[in-house]
């Protein structure tokens, strides 16, 4: 993209008497905004100083040092040519100096700090668009698609792991063919509350870890806790088994299908 600035030359010559310290800030082709916002004039644009209206223009074409604009912005160019450049402008604004601050001498670069403004835009995946000032109304594209490189060196993995993370249940689904069904829960902590809800949100069963029958299996050390539940308490359909750790307050919910 190209970047250039303009100024309102009306704030020079005799009109400098309206400015702070009678110092002209327009018509000198220097980026020297002031902190003055308004003047005592009742005429427009003299009334609204706005730092001298040093507009900053950012365009959407490839950077070439604004060479492609030079012939279009010449003071002798027709208005139709000048409007071609405005079609390239994507962002514009003008700065106003903070009260009590001063710009550096031109030999030192004027700007007294190294502030950086970052403009982020969404760029949908597709062919590259480019701007041609000779055909400013056309939407031209390169016959290509972009290629992106990315990495994860600045990222670290984070796992939302709690004491309830490894809990699972069986059998799932379960049949209501007997007067009781057995719900098996694996890896239950010592102090938990188990609430079983039906699909309508009704609590159909509440129990605690110590009320079940626990057994450790050989090998990986799997702990199974069994709860016998009357089928009269269960309806056919989806149920939710909510397990709450009494110490940490963590909650895990499992889906349980009753057929």
Render pLDDT for 187-217 as a digit per residue (tens, 0 to 9): 988 889 999 999 989 999 999 988 989 888 7
Q: What is the CATH number of the domain that holds 251?
A: 2.60.40
Helix, strand counts (H, E) of the chain: 1, 13
Find tokens 């018509």 and name the residue.
27
Residue 233 lies in a domain: yes
Residue 234 lies in a domain: yes
Residue 187 lies in a domain: yes
Q: What is the pLDDT of residues 164-176, one digit of tens each?
A: 888 999 999 998 8
Q: Give the torsion sign (CA, 41, 82, 137, 60).
A: negative
**Listed ranges 44-58, 112-126, 151-165; the one with the highest mean pLDDT:** 44-58
Whether residue 149 has pLDDT greater than 90: no
Residue 10 lies in a domain: no
Residue 206 lies in a domain: yes
Find tokens 């550096």 and name the residue.
104
The model carries a pTM of 0.50
Residue 131 lies in a domain: no
Residue 216 lies in a domain: yes
Beta-sheet strands, E only, within 153-222: 168-170, 180-186, 192-198, 203-208, 213-216
Q: What's the structural domain count of the chain?
A: 1
Helix (H) or strand (E) holding 225: strand 223-230
What's the rounded Cα separation, in Å, for the pair 72 and 85? 7
Full domain range(s) for residue 243 = 168-258
pLDDT bracket for residue 159 (50, 70, 90): low
Residue 135 lies in a domain: no
């Amino acid at each position: 993209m190209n970047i250039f600035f303009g100024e309102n030359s009306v704030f020079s010559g005799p009109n400098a008497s309206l400015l702070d310290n009678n110092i002209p800030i327009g018509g000198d082709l220097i980026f020297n905004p002031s902190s003055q916002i308004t003047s005592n004039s009742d005429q427009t644009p003299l009334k609204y100083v706005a730092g001298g209206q040093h507009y900053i223009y950012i365009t959407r074409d490839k950077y070439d040092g604004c060479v492609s604009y030079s012939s279009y912005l010449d003071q002798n160019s027709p208005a139709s040519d000048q409007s071609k450049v405005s079609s390239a402008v994507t962002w514009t604004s003008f700065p106003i100096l903070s009260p009590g601050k001063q710009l550096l001498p031109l030999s030192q670069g004027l700007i007294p700090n190294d502030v950086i403004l970052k403009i982020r835009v969404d760029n949908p995946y597709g062919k590259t668009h480019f701007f041609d000032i000779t055909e400013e109304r056309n939407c031209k594209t390169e016959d290509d698609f972009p290629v992106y490189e990315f990495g994860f060196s600045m990222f670290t993995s984070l796992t939302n792991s709690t004491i309830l993370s490894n809990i699972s249940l069986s059998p799932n689904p379960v049949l209501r063919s007997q007067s009781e069904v057995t719900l098996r829960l694996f890896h239950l902590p010592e102090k938990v509350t188990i609430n079983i809800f039906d699909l309508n949100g009704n609590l159909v069963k509440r129990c605690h870890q110590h009320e079940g029958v626990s057994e450790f299996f050989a090998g990986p050390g799997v702990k199974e806790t069994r709860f016998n539940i009357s089928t009269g308490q269960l309806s056919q359909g989806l149920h939710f088994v909510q397990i709450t750790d009494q110490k940490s307050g963590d909650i895990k919910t499992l889906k349980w299908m009753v057929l």
